[in-house]
């Protein structure tokens, strides 16, 4: 007897909870003010942050590392790899690639790890 009362209780609670969930969904779908209230909780970005643009040109200290036909690029400690290409600024690499190396921004340190 105890098992059947518990079973009935669980079925009733499940049914009541299902109705409550359905009524909440209907409220936001059918009620425009509830939808707007829900929509206002989403954060809005007022402005788009500007990305730093760097021109990748030799006059800014950038260079292609790796000598064809057997390219083994190394930018060193004061430069960072920006691009990788099999041709780079000249002849095609038979093995490996060439790296476009540009100076690290002021105050940045390259760490291997």
Per the CB < 8 A criterion, the answer to whether 34 and 28 are in contact is yes
Q: Quote the percentage of the chain above a pLDDT of 70.
A: 46
Q: What is the pLDDT of residue 65?
A: 92
Cα separation values, 2 from 7, 10, 22, 72, Å: 9, 12, 30, 78
Q: What is the pLDDT of residue 51?
A: 56
H helices of the chain, in order, are 2-30, 32-39
C-alpha span between 66 and 71 (Å, rounded): 5
Checking phi first, is residue 26 left (phi over 0); if not, alpha (psi -120 to 50) or beta? alpha
Q: What is the pLDDT of residue 106?
A: 80
Average pLDDT of every residue of the chain:
72
The structure tokens 């940045």 sit at 108
Q: pLDDT (tens digit, 9 = 90+) per residue, 31-74?
A: 666 655 555 555 666 666 665 555 556 667 889 999 989 999 99
End-to-end alpha carbon distance in the chain: 67
94: pLDDT strictly greater than 60: yes
Q: Quote the percentage of the chain above a pLDDT of 90.
A: 19
Q: At what angle do helices 32-39 and 2-30 cross, to 10 degrees?
A: 90
């Amino acid at each position: 007897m105890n098992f059947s009362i518990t079973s009935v209780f669980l079925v009733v609670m499940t049914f009541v909870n299902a109705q409550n969930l359905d009524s909440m969904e209907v409220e936001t779908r059918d009620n425009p003010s509830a939808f707007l209230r829900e929509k206002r909780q989403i954060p809005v970005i007022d402005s788009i942050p500007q990305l730093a643009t760097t021109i990748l040109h030799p006059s800014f200290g950038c260079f292609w590392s790796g000598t064809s036909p057997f390219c083994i690029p190394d930018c060193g400690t004061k430069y960072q790899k920006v691009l990788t290409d099999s041709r780079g600024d000249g002849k095609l690499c038979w093995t490996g690639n060439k790296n476009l190396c540009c100076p690290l921004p002021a105050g940045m340190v390259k760490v291997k790890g």
